[in-house]
Amino acid sequence: MFLLPLTVLPLRKCYTSSSDQEAQGYGSYGNDAGYDLTWNIDQYLYAANSGVGPEDPSFSKTGGIIYLIIVHSGSIKIGDKKDMYDAKFHFDMNVDDDKPIKPALMLPESGTGVKSGDEDYEYAIDFSETLQMIADEGSNKLSFQAAFKETFVSIGSTQKAAIGAQNMSFTIEGSHFPAGAKYDIHALSVFQAHELSLFPAAFSFTSEAKWGPHGEGGGGGGIITIDPEFKK
């Protein structure tokens, strides 16, 4: 469950913003093998850890952090015509314009899957962060624990994560994806910034798939502009 302090207590509101978008659906075919992808992106932003609001010039100097938390969901649907072998589905998020919005966390991390059966792996996404927030135009302070917990089984595949200077990614890969099978997407990303002036910010969300001995593949992507309207 993901806990959002849109209204933490009666008549007490915090600096938060949230929205949800779909990167878009993709289809790609080669040698009768292919897939359809739906990639959903739920965005949550919190302004925290400072005694002032994010629009205040002293926000960053007083330890303020803007947290951008992205929950990924959706599905990969293998085409009905042919099985897919030695496949990798790669998902990348990149901060455009070299803005100092830094990748901080990508879950689940590589190598954390627990084998379940012959080729299945069970993963856990366990995110928790205690945020020091202000309410009522700064007249009140409170601690809020933003948390997201989820376990899932990656059928016949493993999941890996990577973090770069301006981007982060996750990859689902396996030796055999049967025709007609459907695989759910599970991941969580955290970016951090220190100034509200960095928004609106454009993020590139791109996907790429490779499979088979001849490197068949496809992909797609889109630009999503994240422009928080912080509620007080």
Q: Which of 229, 224, 185, 216 is nearest to 30 (CA)?
A: 216
Q: Which of 70, 227, 59 is nearest to 134 (CA)?
A: 59
Question: In this predicted structure, what is the pLDDT of residue 7?
Answer: 30
Burial class for 203, CB neighbours closer than 10 Å (0-12, 13-18, 19+): buried
pLDDT in tens, 108-136: 999 999 998 888 999 999 999 888 887 66
Q: What is the mean pLDDT of residues 168-178?
A: 94
pLDDT in tens, 151-169: 999 999 999 999 999 999 9
Q: pLDDT higher for 31 or 207? A: 207
- This prediction has a pTM of 0.83
- Give me the residue spans of the domains in the chain: 14-218
pLDDT in tens, 190-216: 999 998 888 888 888 888 888 876 666
Instruction: Kindly report which listed range (59-73, 89-103, 200-214) carries the lowest average pLDDT score.
Output: 200-214
E strands present in the chain:
16-30, 33-48, 65-78, 84-95, 102-107, 114-115, 121-135, 140-154, 158-163, 167-177, 182-184, 187-193, 201-211, 216-226
The mean predicted confidence, pLDDT, of the chain is 79
